[in-house]
Amino acid sequence: SPARAMAPRCPLGIAIRTGVHTHVRHRLHAHTLPFTVAGSPHLAGFNGIRLPSLAEGRRLCTFTRASFELSKEPLLDYVKARGDWANAPADKPALICEATGRAITFRELGPRIAGAAHELRARGFEQGDVLSLHMHNMPEYVIGFFAALSLGGVVTTSNPAYTATELAHQFGDSGATHFVTCDAYKDTVIKAIVTSGVLPKSQIESAESETCFVNAPPAEFFPELETPIDVERGLAVLPYSSGTTGRPKGVMLSQFNICANVQQTAFADETHAYSINADDVMMGVLPLFHIYGLAVLMCVALARQATLVLMPKFEPDRFLKAIQDYKITQAPVVPPIIVFLTKHPMVEQYDLSSLRSILSGAAPLDAHLQAAVAERLRCACRQGYGMTELSPIVSFSPRDPDAIVLGSCGKLAANTTVKIVDSLTREALPVGSEGELCVKGPQVMQGYLNRPDATAESIDADGFLITGDLARIDETGTLFIGDRVKELIKVKGFQVAPAELEGLLLKHTDVADVCVIGVPDERHGQLPCAYVVPRNEAHLDAEILLDFLKPHVAEFKLPQTFRFVDSVPKSASGKLLRRAIAELEAKRGSEAEGIKQE
């Protein structure tokens, strides 16, 4: 059982580090001492932290945001209680299926999950068994997820776009025992099961079938468990990493990991908690198989008694129509959707005045786009930072729109400590320096399934997760995220951040999308190469874009190759797939030196 293969939980002791001493940090309430800065005895609120002078010594960049007591209930119990499902208005929808118009109210949702749990158990599902959810967004996804967790089981989520080969790796690695999918993906799931060699304990089920356990009649009580759920250490959720550095790895998350992050995100304090309440209607276009959709969208919405409108996938006209028709107030999205909302003329055809907040995550969003979408839609645009291995939230913009720092990922979530280190020496860097971000807190994963080597490489001896992301934190505790450490382009030893060039190119009115990669070069080591998607068939060439870039960046940063394409590949969560573009570029072979374009 994967539950028994889990790595030991990382210790959660949080320390304030100086160059000489380590002081034990006592538990604080959320309203007291919100931030500490390593090396400084001075504490202040979110509006600023007094910095010691250089004479006071070298301050290392380690930040901690104040702790508050976290509930350690099972995830479903916590979400139901905080969302007060039983006392919600009788007709208040919890889940709406955008594709069919079906709705499940908050009062109906708990009994529906309980009924599904009874049926799942009748199919031989036991504590520690693994349920595979290979589905697009729909209400039955939520029911299946919570039914498995209520039985002390594990849920592994997967992208419906996966091929049988990709899926077989996940099935075999996770030890999946039960499978729920949709009619459109059932053949792929069957092929993957055969290839993986796993032995299902019950038939593969389609959530669209009336006989599937997710469509069971409601029940008043949940099944009783022989053994209490190990909320803190037991494996519960098993998403797989994107695999940009190799085959995808199973990220082991406990119920406490997810539950703690819901609390850190939505219930820490009134000034910093994610601004969502029972009056909100949330856009559910983020895929629930992704940790951003699963935790920030699904769990937070249900814990705040907000209505969630689930879309199977992003389709521009349906997306805009859903905002208009359902009067969506909150839209957690990814940067490519922000680009669409900022630049596409179709947006003007719909009434989006109900929107009061957009949350961007899964990839960096530059200040220009953040300001542009807020101005066009007349709503706040916030940013958050996280990753699957962090359940996922580390930081997010404050509730007050006037306190949002454009281009930043906001302040740390409660109960979180971060440090910025040199990616080679692992030494902590001074405040304001850019280095590799490391994170510690209750949201840190348990480890990678069946990969103790990768776990040891990712979590240091002090319990910090090494994110692989470049970042800096200013003196107010505001976090700014750069590129992945391994994605930096090295031109004659000088570092070029792809995100910097992408942000600048997206400011050009005729650029719809862009991805910058480094390509090998004998003289320079690497050179930047830009894949550009022109907007509305606009005429673009290398000379136009170089003239646009030259006033803004040093000469060594200028792309030496421009490729004009119809689209750039992205993951389901909206991240640029640089490796896919790098592989495409490598196949093109060598070309003559100088500025090139296609």
The pTM score is 0.79
pLDDT at residue number 272: 67
Residues 141 and 155: their CA atoms lie apart, in Å, by 11
Give the chain's domains with CATH numbers. 2-70+409-484 (2.30.38.10), 94-402 (3.40.50.12780), 489-597 (3.30.300.30)
The predicted-structure confidence for 571-580, as pLDDT tens digits, reads as follows: 777 778 888 8
Q: How many CB atoms lie within 10 A of CB 72?
A: 13
Mean pLDDT in residue range 136-143: 98
pLDDT at residue number 587: 83
Q: How many CB atoms lie within 10 A of CB 166?
A: 18
Statement: residue 102 has pLDDT above 70 = yes
234 residue type, one letter: G
pLDDT at residue number 556: 83
The confidence band for 597, taking pLDDT boundaries of 50, 70 and 90, is low
Tokens of 386: 């996280």
Angle at 221 between CA 212 and CA 132, to 5 degrees: 35
Tokens of 78: 């916590």
19 residue type, one letter: G
Q: Is 125 helix (H, G, I), strand (E, B) or coil?
A: coil
Q: Do residues 60 and 419 make contact, with C-beta atoms less than 8 angstroms apart?
A: yes
Statement: residue 169 has pLDDT above 80 = yes
Stronger pLDDT, 1 or 167, i.e. the higher one: 167
Q: Do residues 69 and 267 make contact, with C-beta atoms less than 8 angstroms apart?
A: no
Question: What residues contact residue 180 under an 8 Å CB cut-off, 6+ apart?
Answer: 131, 132, 133, 134, 135, 140, 144, 204, 205, 206, 207, 212, 213, 214
pLDDT at residue number 282: 98
Q: Do residues 528 and 516 make contact, with C-beta atoms less than 8 angstroms apart?
A: yes
Statement: residue 458 has pLDDT above 90 = yes
Statement: residue 56 has pLDDT above 60 = no
Question: What residues contact residue 6 under an 8 Å CB cut-off, 6+ apart?
Answer: 233, 234, 235, 252, 446, 447, 449
Strand blocks (E) in 122-250: 130-134, 154-157, 178-181, 205-206, 235-237
Residues 282 and 306: their CA atoms lie apart, in Å, by 7
Share of the chain above pLDDT 90, in %: 69
Statement: residue 6 has pLDDT above 50 = no
Q: Is the omega angle on the peptide bond into residue 520 within 30 degrees of 0, that is, cis? A: no
Q: Which of 117-126, 336-345, 364-373 has the highest mean pLDDT?
A: 117-126
Radius of gyration of the chain (CA): 24
Mean pLDDT in residue range 510-530: 89
The predicted-structure confidence for 172-227, as pLDDT tens digits, reads as follows: 999 999 999 999 999 999 999 999 999 999 999 999 999 999 999 999 999 999 99
Statement: residue 243 has pLDDT above 80 = no
Mean pLDDT for the chain overall? 86
pLDDT at residue number 242: 60
pLDDT at residue number 377: 98
- Name which of 560, 556, 547, 546 is nearest 591 in CA terms: 560
Mean pLDDT in residue range 283-287: 96
Mean pLDDT in residue range 480-503: 81
The predicted-structure confidence for 425-434, as pLDDT tens digits, reads as follows: 889 999 999 9
Q: Are strands 205-206 and 235-237 parallel, antiparallel or unpaired?
A: unpaired
Q: Do residues 214 and 180 make contact, with C-beta atoms less than 8 angstroms apart?
A: yes
Tokens 């494996």 — which residue? 235
Residues 73 and 150: their CA atoms lie apart, in Å, by 11
List the single range of 219-233, 358-372, 503-517, 562-576 with lowest mean pLDDT. 562-576
Share of the chain above pLDDT 70, in %: 86
List the single range of 207-216, 265-274, 319-328, 409-418 with lowest mean pLDDT. 265-274
